[in-house]
Amino acid sequence: MKKIRVKTDDYVWIGEYPLHKQLKDELVPLLEKYPDQHNRETNVKATMTEWNWNPENVRLERLKNNILEFVNYNCNYYPPRTIEDTRSVRYLMKDFWGNIYRKGDYTKPHTHRPEVFSCVYFLKSKWYHSPLVFSDSGKKIRPKEGTFVIFPSHLNHLVPKHRYRDTRITLSGNIVIKNP
């Protein structure tokens, strides 16, 4: 796990998912041919799945659970109040979607307010593909397959124009507090 300061009081956390290869082998063929569900009418000017994309894939559910456990134990914006709090997952994945970037695609600067945390998982990418950029600080996170980035949802972020023929595929989600 890496923790990187992007602003005075704001950090991003980067973790690795151990079952990446199997997940990639299953999801990339499905996402490569996925039709755009939002007609580029969101901040993401690329092909997107539904907001609550759920292809009923066991490996995808494992990824989401892994991200939630990571947030629960590493992202301490809301410290546990009791011993029981430290033993239970206190966060839920509110929504989860895929982004398929082809040559010329990009994402405009935006936040995910009012959610607590947001995440990006690099399903298919090369190190030289467009980074995830936190625009207030200019901090760039280079894509690396199998890694996820967790960040406070109020951070302004973007993805510069994708300049390559091969696709860059990410999975994204918003995380909220369970029973606040």
Predicted local distance difference test score (pLDDT) of residue 12: 95
Residue 31 lies in a domain: yes
Residue 83 lies in a domain: no
Residue 81 lies in a domain: no
CATH number at residue 122: 2.60.120.620
Predicted local distance difference test score (pLDDT) of residue 55: 87
Per DSSP, 2 falls in state E
Position 154, amino acid: H
Predicted local distance difference test score (pLDDT) of residue 75: 81
Q: Is the pTM of this model over 0.85?
A: yes
State how many domains the chain has.
1
Mean pLDDT of 93-102: 97
pLDDT at 48 over 80: yes
Domain holding 136, by residue range, is 2-8+16-75+90-177
pLDDT tens digits, 113-135: 999 999 999 999 999 999 999 99
Cβ contact 91:117 at 8 Å? yes
Mean pLDDT of 149-156: 96
